[in-house]
Chain A
Amino acid sequence: MRKATLFAGLVAGFSTFAFNAAQAVEIEYWQYVFDTRVKAMDQLIAEFQKANPGITVKQVTFPYADYQTRVIAANMAGNAPDVMQLFYGWLDKFVAGGLLAPLPKDAFPHDKIEKDFFPIVSAMKRDGEYYGLPTAVRSLALFYNKKLFTEAGLDPNNPPKTLDEFVAAGQKIAKLDGSGNIVVAGSTVDMGGQDHQWWREVLIRQFGGEPYKDGDTKVNYNNEAGLKALNFYTSLQLEKKIGKAGFMDEGQAAFRGGKAGMTIDGTFRLGSFKSIKDFEWGVTELPANAQGVRSNYASYFANGISAKTKGEELEASKKFLAYITSPAAMEIWLKTVGELPALRSAALTDANLKDPIYAPFLKGLEYAHTTLFKDEQGQRQNAIDMVNRVLLEGQSTKDSLAQAAEAEQEMIDAAKP
């Protein structure tokens, strides 16, 4: 009797399962936990499911610190997500590990990708195949404190446009106490923040160089341009006394606290700075050099399809990826997360270009570069150490630069498969 019921139950269970499978496909989407990103994705999934009744998307999230390890472990265990988010800098590792499938050309034709997306999407291309597409991108800009500008006798509606103006404004704003300690910084000096990107992709280029060669596998800054860029950067603290590394612990904290006139930071900082109540702040493009050369550093999280996804799930994943990289999805993402749309058409709208906050970041995207990091943390640390050797140990910029170039080359070579 009991056996019979059990059997009936099993049959019923299997039949509903089979019925469901024929009716609907479920795919899994993975990203890391960040409140607004999770909310935005929930909204996108709801919209997508409304338009595609046969497909269910399940969002799974993990803390950022565990995310990479989880994806890799799940892939080895055969439970990989169908569509996953990844930082552009992880691509080499993910491709080498066989986690990602090249984007099917029928759904994502290359000429269309290259025409519609900002050029930085090329960082997702390996051996003639694209492995992912971003929903949103991030770039850098110069944030400035309008209150401190006014107090220093500067025009709060006319922020610095060139490096010289940047230095001059910084010197006017900076205040020292009797013993020479900085009380208000003209601009933050914080290599641990975004300054290492500024030095690498912006300053080196503005001083006539190019940070890397051969697909970012050869360090190319141990030369005149690199030295000038490093001299400029370290002089901000050592000679011009505009700021000091470690002032208020972190650059962004100093700016937030109203103790720094300017800071270079990314779109991802907007959320945090929007809650500032004590003063008005503005954003402007990163300063150009005397010849008007500008550069920027852009980065993004892309979405890719797992190499293990096949059949119906693959078709559903293609549809989902196409949706989350559509202009409509990007608009939702911009409103919820505050990150810039990755498609030109969605980004460069009149409304966005008139927006005083988004416009400088968007302009930056046109001429931005993306470093193809081989060991992001290691290369960042190397740049921090290079500046610290000059600021703390008094090493000459020339020696420190040479040491950094050699160490970074070793790091890049070691990361080669």
Chain B
Amino acid sequence: MAAIEQQGAASGRPGSGGGLSMRTKRLLWVWSFLAVPILFYTIIRFYPTFQAFYLSLTSWDLVRPPKLVWFANYIKLFKDPQFWKVFKNTFTYLIIGTPISLVLAFTIAFFLDRVRFMHNLIRALYFLPFLTTAAAMAWVWRWFYQPPPIGVINDVFGMLGIPQQPFIRSTDQALFSIMVTAIWAGLGFQIIIFMAGLRAIPGTFYEAARIDGLGEWAILRKITLPLLKPTTVFLVVFSSIGFLRIFDQVYNMTTNDPGGPLGSTKPLVLMIYQTAFNSYAMGYAAAQTVVLFTILLIVSLLQLWILREKK
């Protein structure tokens, strides 16, 4: 009520509101509206983020007040063999998962784009896993991967005469078994984005290229891929962040031994979760989140720089 009256007054008698100019008033208005989301964002986003930086320098265990220990958490972290294992796992997910998923998604999108027969149905089928809850999907895959009496994949192997594989019960195969499900789950989204990118390339370019006698391979290399660059950049960054933050699949596929046998599938996020909510070492967990934050920042900036538009 008060706001409306004030607004009416302001527009009714311009220039008389305490000597403020029209421009200042408008600015004040704009900022008073913007202040709400900014304040909200600051309180729920930035404040906890800075708080985490502070906590990472303390030995907070949730029950006693935080005690400043400076860099002790970081020193402990860098000396912890478990951390380096988890670090390696996280980067394996990233370095192997991202390229495979992008190449797969592009190949499927490229050919799906030309398929007219049941195009929508096929596209929907590829997109379906992306809509499914990660936890439900992870449990289904967990059962797929089981040893003989219940595991579908091993049953098929048995029929084909291929030796049984331990999959998520093995220290060598577990990480890749989980990576496959993660790639499969994200594929639908990437295909849709790639297809949108492909559709956005003007058909005239292709016509001109064909008139000039360019082969399919040359068209792909000289026209399609360069023009798809903005899409690719987006997907590389998006998918990398996804792999760096992988958690749902790993957690659900190995709940009884979280992080796989001997931590072979454990990503950084799961380690943070366990440190914080199983061991209640909040300070140590905060130090791990700061490290994850730094990694995410560096990787994202690096990718944007590498894939930047060359002018």
> Which A residues have a C-beta under 8 Å from some C-beta of B?
65, 68-69, 72, 93-94, 96-99, 177, 179, 181-183, 190-193, 244-250, 259, 375, 377-378, 381, 384-385, 388-389, 392-393, 414-415, 417
Contacts of B170 in A (CB 8 A): 392
**Contact between B63 and A248 (Cβ–Cβ < 8 Å)?**
no
Give chain B nearest CB distance to A33 CB in angstroms. 17
**Size of B's binding interface in residues, CB under 8 A:** 30
A392/B148 in contact, CB under 8 A = no
Decide if B262 touches A181 in the complex (CB within 8 Å): no
B277 adjacent to chain A (CB < 8 Å) = yes
B28 to chain A, nearest CB (A): 34
Q: Which residues of B contact A385 (CB under 8 A)?
A: 262-263
List of B residues within 8 angstroms of A244 by Cβ: 147
Chain A's nearest CB lies how many Å from the CB of B24?
39
Interface flag for B204 (CB, 8 Å): no
Interface segment among B161-169, B190-198, B211-219: the answer is B161-169
| A414: min CB distance to chain B, Å | 8
Q: Which of B38-74 contact A (CB under 8 A)?
A: 61-64
Q: Is the CB of B256 within 8 A of A250?
A: yes
**In chain A, what residue has the closest Cβ to B276?**
A69
16 residue pairs A–B, Cβ–Cβ below 8 Å: A72-B62, A94-B63, A99-B63, A179-B163, A179-B164, A181-B164, A191-B257, A244-B147, A246-B169, A249-B150, A375-B278, A375-B279, A377-B274, A378-B279, A385-B262, A417-B64
Q: Which residues of B contact A414 (CB under 8 A)?
A: 281
The majority secondary structure among interface residues of chain B is loop
Verify if B303 is at the interface (C-beta below 8 Å from A).
no
Q: How distant is the Cα of A216 from the Cα of B257 in the complex, in angstroms?
A: 24
Contact B277 A69 (CB under 8 A): yes
Q: Across chains A and B, which 4 residue pairs bring their CB atoms closest together, nearest first?
A: A97-B63, A192-B256, A377-B278, A246-B169
How near does chain B come to A96, taking the closest CB pair, in angstroms? 6
Number of A-B contacts (CB under 8 A): 79
State in angstroms the CA–CA spacing of A375 and B263 once bound together: 18
Question: Most chain-B Cβ atoms within 10 A of its Cβ — which of A72, A177, A246?
Answer: A246
Question: Which residues 252-283 of B have a CB within 8 angstroms of A?
Answer: 256-258, 261-263, 274, 277-281
Q: How distant is A83 from chain B, measured CB to nearest CB, in Å? A: 19
Residues in B neighbouring A179, C-beta threshold 8 A: 158, 163-164
Closest residue of chain B to A184 (Cβ to Cβ) is B149
Chain B residues within an 8 Å CB radius of A98: 63
Picked from A65, A97, A246, the residue with its CB within 8 Å of the CB of B147 is: A246
> A341 to chain B: closest CB distance in Å?
30
- Which among A181, A249, A392, A417 is the interface contact of B171 at CB below 8 angstroms? A392
User: Could you tell me which residues of chain B, from 133 to 186, have a CB within 8 Å of some CB in chain A?
Assistant: 142-143, 146-150, 158, 163-164, 166, 169-171
**Which A residues are CB-close (under 8 A) to B257?**
191-192, 381, 384, 388
CA distance A123 to B274 in the complex (A): 25
Q: Pick the contact of B149 from A72, A248, A377, A381 — CB < 8 Å?
A: A248
- Residues on A with beta carbons closer than 8 Å to the beta carbon of B142: 249
A99, A249, A388 pick with most chain B CB within 10 angstroms: A249
Q: Are A245 and B279 in contact (CB under 8 A)?
A: no
Complex: A147 Cα to B279 Cα, angstroms:
42
- Docked-complex contact B63 and A93, CB < 8 angstroms: yes
Interface membership of chain B positions 80-121, coded 1 if the CB is closer than 8 angstroms to chain A and 0 otherwise? 000000000000000000000000000000000000000000
Contact of A93 with B147 at beta-carbon distance under 8 Å, contacts A388-B262, A393-B262 already known: no
B14 to chain A, nearest CB (A): 37
Residues of A within 8 A of B258 (CB): 381
- A-chain residues with CB within 8 Å of residue B279 when the two chains form the complex: 375, 377-378, 415
For residue A381, which residues in chain B have a CB less than 8 angstroms away from its CB? Answer: 257-258
